[in-house]
Structures are given as structure tokens and as C-alpha cells.
A and B are shown apart, each in its own frame.
Chain A
Amino acid sequence: MTNRRHLVIPGLIVAVLSLIWDLLVALVLHIPPGYATTTAADQTVTSQVFAIIAGDIGMAVVAYGLYFAILFSRQGRTAEPQAGVRAPSNVPLQVGWISSCIVLVMFAAGFGVVELEGQTDPALVVPASALASGAQHHPFIVQVIGQQWQFTYRYPQYGGFESQQLRIPTGRLIQFDVTSLDVTHQFWAYQLGVKLDANQGINNIGYTYVASPTIINVRCGELCGLWHGYMTDVGSQAGEALAPAAFASWLSYAEATYGPETKDLPKFALTYYPAPVVWG
């Protein structure tokens, strides 16, 4: 066979497999975390793009490698001695390979930077349809406090009361202020596409915009001690994003129930330092 056929045949195989893979990823597979929020949607779309690119590249390398390994193997051949062909280092091929890699990498980096802005800039987290109302300037703030071994939530815009369930409204920019009372935890709100480390003495801020009501499963993602594995909650006991009317109803209930206890809590602050170190 000529050189060209040795390159075309695996290329055709790759083309067919890639097409199948691309269609699967784009149209069939449900890639988490889904579309409940703008941040989750960005992550889902990014996953699809990266899965398509990575899958196509991976299949190409495997197909060519396997094809060459089988075709040029001397297993099962007759005993005619054959020496390997000395091939020069093909400089145009090397340049082409590296150039292609650079193009792909810069595309991935550029795509990532654009998506990153969409996760961190409030004006981009809020969908375009809500910008006119100035939603990006009026976030709903929830302070997430990590401690061994649960998350609690304070609402500074409503007197600073604290609850053990996360409740947020849909249709508003949500700002999470995450901190820790003790060791490093990690607030992972799965359906929201939000993951923020809770560090001692640091206020870690993240944003999201919830389009429609959803349950929020909350997990701690950072090893934080003995019961780290159990620092997880699922279902509405963990968290919920509620439509405005339902949220207003919950807010009334929460202010009435948890509000009186606020006077026993430390004054609201962005971070809470542990008890001072005692010397001597």
C-alpha cells in the first residue's frame, strides 16, 4: 500500500467514529450539571465542547496508533527478514503538529476565559433579558458558613438570621459569600454549578442566576475531618431555589422562626475568626 492509503484509511475510521461521538455528545447525552442556572448552563456547554474536541483527538491518536501497530507488526509474517525503514525527522510534520496543538489550546483557553467571565462578572452571570432591570446591581446575598460538620446560611439583607437550609429566589442574581469557622470546607451546590472553598478568615464570593425552581443538593467537597463524608444533604432539606412568591412565603416563615435567635449569634461579619490562640 502507498503511504497515502496508510494515512487515509485510519482517517476515514476516525471521521466516522468522530461523527457518531459528536452527535451523541451534542444531542443525546445529558451532561451535568444541567441548565438550572446560567453558571450550570455555561459549564454544561463547555463540557460538550471539550468532550467533542477531546473525543475526536483521542480517537484519532488511538486509531492511527493501533493501525500502525497492527499494520507494521511482524507478528505472523513469514520469516523474510525485514529491517526497519530509517525515516528522517519530518520537520514540516513536527511544525504542523505543534501548530495544530497551539491552535487547539488557544481556542480552549480563549473559550475558557470567555466562559469564566460569564461565571464571575455579575453583568454576565445575569441573562441578557434581566439586565434591563439592573439585576446585576442588586444581588441577593447568602452567607454560607462552613463548620465541622455542616453548612449554615445567613441572610444579611434580612437581619442576618441563620438557617440550616439554603433557600434562594429564582430570577435574581445570587451572591454567595463563603467562609469557614474552623478548617477548610468546600460548598458545592450541585444543581447551581457553584463550588467555593470555605477558608478560615476569607470571604470567598461566587455568583449564579437561577432561571427556574430547583432542588439544590449541597455537599462538602474538601476533606474536613472525621465526618466529612456525612457533610452532605440532598433534597429540599438541603436547599431549594423557589419562585418569588414561594420564596417570599418562606422568608416570612424564616424571619419569624429564626429571627429571634439572631441576637444570640455573633454580629454579622464577612468572616468569623476562631477563638484567639491562647499562649502559655
Chain B
Amino acid sequence: MSQTAIASGRAPVRFSPRRLFLTQNLVTAIIVGIVVGAVAYWIGAQLDTTDNGNGGILLGYLVGSAGFLVTLGFANDVILRLRGRPSASIVKTAESKGWTEFFGISLDHKVVGIQFGVAVVLMFFLAGFQAMMIRTEFLFPNGGGPWPAGQYETLVGLHGLLMMFVATLVIIGAFGNYFIPIMIGAKRMAFPRLESFAFWLVPLGALIMYSTIFAGFGGGFPTGWWLYAPLSVEARIGMDGAIVGFAFIGIAAAIAGINLLTTIFVMRAPGMTWSRMPMFAWAMIAVEFLSALAPPVLACTLMLVGFDRAVQSSFFEAGGGGSGLLYQEMFWFFGHPEVYIFIIPAFGVVLEILPVFTRKPLFGYRLAVAGMLGVSLMSWFVWNHHIFTSSVAPGLRPFFMTATELISIPTGVMFLNMLGTLWKADLRLKLPLLFALAVMFNFLIGGLTGVFLSDVPLNVTLHDSFFVVGHFHYTIVGGEIFALYAASYFWFPKVTGKMLNARIGKWHFWTALIFFNTTFLPMFAAGYLGQVRRSPVYAAELHGLNVWISVNGFLFGLSNLIWLYNIVYSWGFQKERAPVNPWESRSLEWQIPTPIPADNFPRIPTIVSGPYEYGPGTTRPIAEWPDTGQIPTPAPAI
């Protein structure tokens, strides 16, 4: 027992899973994973009925990953129970384990949130660097750039896949895991072990995917991030890493979805009615229905590709009775909900930030909730718009076209929420709000261009062109990544106790906004003029346009380095501590001290009002705190 705990009369209990062996740590887990994976590869190679080695590689990846996760400690509780011993308690100690707790299993959702944040942001910069490499190729017409054809395709695939990993998990994994329990008044997540397991699948998946480039002559993969069969079935051994890595991220997203959904449904504090829940929590509900249900479809589809590759099962090979079109249908059945997994958390961030900096209630709270849930529901019925040109049944096209256009109605509700909240507000143009407004501006362009693509005749011209590249970069980068920026400036003080430097932040904001738009807006023109995506070859008359896009892309990349510099400088070198509630927010996470205690709240509060009751006449606090009396909410806006 710690002295602090004895003095307080409260008994601390174990916080981390008990170690079965003294040597259960990240280093040993990596070593065991590699050794076990190599043995499994050898066994698989002996059993392989094909001459391409896929069976051994797939077995090696899967068994090696299992070895890594078991050695890290995820099977400890199962083994303890099998031996008739109690599993580890999940209540937290007061003492921090220091930096080492970020390199193992942690049952503290705040630690897992930081693990997600750091890992996914690192992946973002790696994938961003690859984007710079891709745009370098476009400085030269006719594919005369520095990357040979095979390397270029692998670059495109790695950039796309890694950015999919980032987009899936950056807000849910980092901010969702960190803040949702606190925002709803809970001490922890519903399934802390699963939460940590979901995290460790992420670096595992990314490393497995990157291992493909070291596979020698067969390295890399030629399919882009869609992994379309039958090309993915017939590609060389580098394809296996992409399949396994992507499947792991899908599983991580599904686990995160189940965990967050259960936490919000089951562990809300007393008084936290549905109408008092923060918008970010509602966004997590809307997105986690998708995240729990769609990625398993991806995992199954990729498993079938793996079977086709390893044992010639012909799910997706026409010669054996299968169909490549079947892969497209299954993939996009996952793929469209996936893109709403990207953007709904961004809506949640924006709608969470708006009231704080306008100092008035969110306009149309119920409508915003209905909008996000409506988007979530309708996203299951539109997947065919990704494959309008793929000989789907003609009678289905009007249905999917109409459904895709109808989904713009709940999506457009967000803009009414924004305009209504800005109307007669008392705006504080701080960086979180600036980035939130930038999200709405960028998503407006992305969303409107989506309507072009939803129209089948227009889709004929624009599908697989640079118009699509512009569209999804506006929605995903302009929407979700800018929301990531907004969330980082908003919640950084709560996580670290320091403010992100405002002066550097303004440089970041203006360079990001300007160069993002100058990079991606011209892509719509390039697409209309016939430039095909995923190809370094383009018409000579488009050379000037591509040079402009590349140069501005490099500048947008630089703006991200400004953001990274701000994070490192503010966290590592800035001495001034941030106020506990620098934004005077009413939300629950801002009512507790920084650093946040290990178990979030000494006692669970009782929620007595909503989080957006700003404005004159505001006297009700958001919560009553047992034993300690009320903690007053910030004074009305001044």
C-alpha cells in the first residue's frame, strides 16, 4: 500500500494486469513475435500448395502477431483464470508509472488515448511524407519522375492505407478514448483491456503493412488502398502485409466502437440524460454503430482474399467461379460507412467547440443529433455510388443515386447548426474556433463536390479522376484533419497542462488553410480535364497545373511541420502552465483538475444541467459534486 493511500484510508488496488513472467514487456514481445512468426512462416511454407509463398507469409504474420500480443500480456487474465486464480483488478492506483506505462498495456483510458494520439499522429506524418514523394513524381510529365512505376504504385498504396488508418482512429482513438469517460462522468471505460488491445493492433498493423516494402523483388503492392481483387489475389508477396495490416486496423476500429458505445450507454453519470450529453459523445454514438459493424465486413473480405492467395479458393477469381465484382461490392459495403467513420467525429468536435467560443447554446441541439444519427443510418444504403461504372444492375443506379443525394440532407444540417450558433453570438476568435470554422468551409466544398459524383451521368466523367482525389481530400483532410487541429488546440491544455502557442498556432492556421485550398482546389479542374488518379502519366497541357499542385502541396506539408513544432515546443519547452479551464467551458472535463486524477473523479458527480447553457442568466452549474459541495461553473461570458 502506498503512504498516500494509507493516509487517506482508501486502499489502492492493482491497475495493470499482473505479469505472469518478469520479462513481459514491449521488447520481449517484439522478439517473441518475430521468432514465433518466423517459425510459423517456415511451417506455412512447408504446407503451402502454391508456389508463391503466400501461405507461409500470411501464417507468419498472424501467428507472429498473436505471439506479440500474448507476450505483451493480453492473455494473462485468461491464463490466470484457467489456473483458478483471480484476474487483475482494474481500479487504478494513484501513482503513475512514468513514461514506461505508454509502452505496455494500460487500463487507464487517458494513457491509451495518448498512446493512440502519438502513434496515429506519427503515422500521419509518415503518410504525409509519402504524399510529398508522390507529388514529386508529378513535377515531371509522362511519368518521368524519380519513382519507377512499381515504387510509385506502392507509394500511392502506402500513403492511402496509412492515411485510412489515421483517419479511422485519430479522433476516436485519441480524443474519444481520452475524453469520453470524463465527459459522461465515468471513472473508466467499459472494457479497458479491449481498449488497450485495440491500440496495440494499430502499430502492429502499420508495421506489418510497411514490412511489405522489404520483401525484395515481390515487395510493395500494386493495388492502392482498395486492394481490388483479382489484382490483389494475383499480386506478389508484398500484398500479404497490406491485407493483414488493413484487417488489423479494421478489427481495432470495431473493438473501439463496441467499447465506446457500451461506455456511453452504460456508464453515464447520474443525471446525464440523453439531452444533456455533449455533442462529442453523440458523435461517438453515431460513429461507433458504423465502426462496430462495418470493419468486420472488411476483415472478412480480406480474409477471403487471403484464402484466394494462399489456397486458391477463387472467391474473387472468375476462372474458378468467383467474381472480382463481388470484392468491389463487399469492399464498398464497408468502404462507405468507413468514410462516415472519418467525418462524424469531426462534426462532433466542431459542434463541441462552437458553443464554447460563441458563448451561446448550440443552435438546434436535437437537430444536430438527428443529423449525425441520420448520416450514420443512411451511410449503409449508398455504397454502390463508388462503383457506378462497374456493371452493377442498371435498376439499382437510380436508387443509389437518390440515396446518396438524400444523405446530403442530414449532413447539411451541420451548416444550419453552425450558422444558427454564429448568429448574434459573442465570438471569441481563438484557434479552436478558427479551425472549426475552417472545417465547415472545407467540408462545404467537399460535400458539394460529392453531389457531382453522386449523379450517375456525371460520375461517368469524374469517377477515378483527380476530381475524386480533390473531393475526398476536401472531406477527409479538410474535414477530419482540420478537426484534429481544432481538437488539439482545444484539448491540449487539459491533456498536458500547457497551452499550444497562439502565435505559432496562427501561422499554422493560415498556412494550412491557404495552402490546403491552393493544393486541392485545382484538382477538380485536373479531373474534369481528364487526368486519371493513381497514374503519374498525364497530358502535357496539364503539366503547369500539376506543378502548381505539387508546390502548394509541399507548402501544405510545411504547415503541418509548424503544427508539429508547436506541439513539441509547447509541451516540452514552454514553462507557463495553462489555467485549469482556459476556455471557460461548461463541459465536465474542464471542471476537474489538470493533470486529471488517475480515476478522473474522486466521486461520480450528479449532472444537473446541459453543457451548452451559455449566455446571460446562466446560473446553474453543470454538476453537483458529492461530499465537496457544488463546484461553480465559469461566470457568464465576459
Contact = CB atoms under 8 A, between A and B. Distances in A.
A75 B429 CA distance: 7
Interface stretch (A107-115, A130-138, A156-164, A244-252): A107-115
B66 interface: no
B366 interface: yes
A84 B149 contact: no
| SS class, residues of chain A in contact with chain B | mixed
A273 B17 CA distance: 55
Given A83-B638, A90-B420, A225-B222, A39 B460 contact: yes
Interface in B534-549: 534-537, 539
Q: Which one of A73, A120, A193 has the highest number of Cβ atoms from chain B below 10 Å of its Cβ?
A: A73
B616 A86 contact: yes
B319 A277 contact: yes
A64 interface: yes
A1 B535 CA distance: 55
Contacts of B48: none
B149 A229 contact: yes
Interface magnitude class on chain A:
35 or more
A257 B312 CA distance: 41
A200 B444 contact: no
Contact of B401 (A113, A205, A227): A113
B637 A62 contact: no
Contact of B455 (A98, A115, A271): A115
Interface string A182-214: 111010101001111101111111000000000
B230 A183 contact: yes
Interface string A251-280: 000000000000000000001011111011
Interface in A98-118: 98, 101-102, 105, 108-109, 111-113, 115-116, 118
Contact of A226 (B222, B324, B448, B457): B222
Interface stretch (B56-64, B110-118, B525-533): B525-533
B401 A194 contact: no
A229 B134 CA distance: 14
Given A50-B452, A183-B231, A86 B615 contact: yes
Contacts of B359: 83-84
Given A116-B456, A226-B222, A276-B319, A83 B409 contact: no
Contacts of B530: 32-33, 190, 217, 219
Interface in A3-41: 6, 31-33, 39
Contacts of A170: none
A257 to B, nearest CB: 29
Given A50-B458, A84-B358, A115-B457, A225 B231 contact: yes
A184 B231 contact: yes
Interface string B134-167: 0000000001000001101100000000000000
B615 A85 contact: yes
Interface stretch (B74-82, B261-269, B411-419, B489-497): B411-419
A119 B460 contact: yes
Given A58-B444, A74-B428, A200-B324, A228 B153 contact: yes
B437 A102 contact: no
Interface stretch (B285-293, B391-399, B500-508): B391-399
Given A69-B437, A93-B420, A186-B464, A197 B457 contact: no
A93 to B, nearest CB: 7
B132 interface: no
A61 B415 contact: yes
A152 interface: no
B197 interface: no
Nearest to A227: B149
A69 B153 contact: no
Contacts of A184: 228, 230-231, 324, 328
B408 A101 contact: yes
A105 B408 contact: yes
A241 B458 CA distance: 22
A182 B234 CA distance: 10
A73 B317 contact: no
Given A94-B416, A183-B234, A193 B319 contact: no
Contact of A199 (B324, B398, B429, B533): B324
B360 A85 contact: yes
A54 B360 contact: no
B153 A223 contact: yes
B437 A65 contact: yes
Q: Which one of A57, A58, A108 has the highest number of Cβ atoms from chain B below 10 Å of its Cβ?
A: A108
Interface in B239-292: none
Interface string B401-441: 11001101100110110111011111111000000010011
Contacts of B529: 32
A29 to B, nearest CB: 10
B294 to A, nearest CB: 22
B41 interface: no
B463 interface: yes
A203 B390 CA distance: 10
B323 interface: yes
A69 B464 contact: no
Contacts of B328: 184
B361 A193 contact: no
B387 A197 contact: yes
Contact of A72 (B366, B406, B425): B425
Going nearest first, the 7 A-B pairs with the smallest beta carbon separation are A201-B318, A84-B360, A229-B535, A204-B391, A221-B464, A84-B359, A200-B318
16 contacts: A65-B440, A84-B360, A85-B426, A85-B615, A90-B420, A101-B409, A101-B412, A112-B458, A119-B460, A184-B230, A190-B530, A197-B387, A201-B323, A217-B530, A221-B465, A225-B222
Given A119-B457, A222-B228, 19 more contacts: A32-B461, A32-B529, A69-B429, A74-B427, A84-B616, A86-B615, A94-B367, A105-B409, A112-B454, A113-B401, A116-B398, A193-B460, A194-B460, A195-B389, A195-B461, A197-B389, A202-B318, A271-B318, A275-B319
